[in-house]
Copies of this chain bind each other. A is one copy, B any other.
């Protein structure tokens, strides 16, 4: 390999993956606008009134963006030092899923609409616009959610078992009629009910069915409290932990407000809060 070629690769890497240089910033901004425009194109394409009249233009635009993102995906693979790692990373997979549907639509109709998944690529906007404070918030949330992850899994297991038992019960009680045509369908109804969504496409008609449905609703109503309770308690703990971590370098006092600039015990200036 010649040194010039090395430089091209490095230059591309800096522009495509980096955000510190003007070129890198510009690239990311163009990318984000392209994503929004391409998603808008797909949405318009799904609207009958537009699709009929502007079919040709919308199709062209869709292919233009898909080819553009495909080239970008190829360049990313080319210029990253650890290719395989990028390909298997969260963003690597999203980048691939963001172009695949258009190609697959040549074989399977309509699947091209799934390209809206490229919206997830916009999460990069945080990195670009130095919205670090937002990321920090997301971080706090993520930590609280991770801390309560296992509790929430236990909770969802319970909900699914409950939904199955209630579903079978309603299937038997309503005698397979009134929309409760099978156990899976009745489970669907139970989930619609205990999550308090309540479409009303399937509703109990028998007296016993209505009583069981009322029980299912009250159950749903009270278990809605569980995930909220779990997350709130964990978030509370996180906020307290935040405070304790924020210590004064002079007197080592802790417990400062999140927005404090001076130590409330000795008046010493506090260190800037580290972002992320």
Residues of chain A having any CB pair with chain B under 8 Å: 39, 42-43, 46-48, 110-111, 113-114, 116-117, 119-120, 122, 133-134, 137-138, 140-141, 144, 150-156, 159, 161, 164-165, 167-169, 171-172, 175-176, 181-185, 187-188, 191-193, 195-201, 203, 207, 210, 213-214, 217-218, 220-222, 224-239, 241, 257
Contacts and interface: CB of A to CB of B under 8 A. Distances in A.
Contacts of A46: 171, 176, 182-184
A164 B39 contact: yes
Contacts of A119: 161, 164-165
Contacts of A169: 114
A227 B221 contact: yes
Given A46-B184, A110-B175, A151-B137, A144 B239 contact: no
Given A222-B227, A231-B225, A236-B233, A165 B116 contact: yes
A218 B137 contact: no
